[in-house]
Structure 1
């Protein structure tokens, strides 16, 4: 059984692991071209998501509401990431 501190650490390690994937791609492939600003934006998005999920986990008591809130947070992350990556909605937010 994991303690609260271990769960919190695990929540914040996931963004680090996810950011290592494009970093390794940058180092070993010419097809991946992330700039420092790409890493900064991805880091802000991922760590904000981790912070919000940790906040929900600590503040909301009812399990069904926790699950729903976490799903909504992850859905928002996915939509923002998709918009920034390929401009799905064609908003000025994506540079379109």
Structure 2
């Protein structure tokens, strides 16, 4: 796999992930995402993809690269969970 293909795959993954709730919105009444929900999710997912691509191209050591990417994914998960259900009780917490 070339570098260009890897970069394309990294940036295509957020689009694929955003298609899941979009299909849920279209096909079911159970999923109720607004445009702002898609915007926030897109910003989070594309920021994660950008940071992972940046780490992939700038960090030379494989172990550091993996460690930083895991940290990025954990940070994304914590922010996502906080926005969804509010585990920390911030003003941005969901219901």
- TM-score by length of structure 2 reads 0.97
In the alignment, is the contact (CA less than 8 A) between 2:11 and 2:49 conserved in 1? yes
Distance in 2 between residues matched to 1:70 and 1:31, nearest whole Å:
33
Distance in 1 between residues matched to 2:88 and 2:78, nearest whole Å:
10
In the alignment, is the contact (CA less than 8 A) between 2:85 and 2:94 conserved in 1? no
Structure 1 runs of 4+ with >6 Å offset: none
1:43-62 aligned at under 5 Å gives the runs 43-62=42-61
Residue of structure 2 equivalent to 1:81 = 80
In the alignment, is the contact (CA less than 8 A) between 2:82 and 2:94 conserved in 1? no
Residue of structure 2 equivalent to 1:5 = 4
CA separation of 1:95/1:31 partners in 2, compared to 1, >3 Å: closer, same or farther? closer
Residue of structure 2 equivalent to 1:30 = 29
Q: Which runs of 5+ in 1 are unaligned?
A: none
Q: Tell me the CA shift for residue 95 of structure 1.
A: 5.7
Q: Tell me the CA shift for residue 92 of structure 1.
A: 1.1
RMSD, aligned CA: 1.0
In the alignment, is the contact (CA less than 8 A) between 2:84 and 2:94 conserved in 1? no
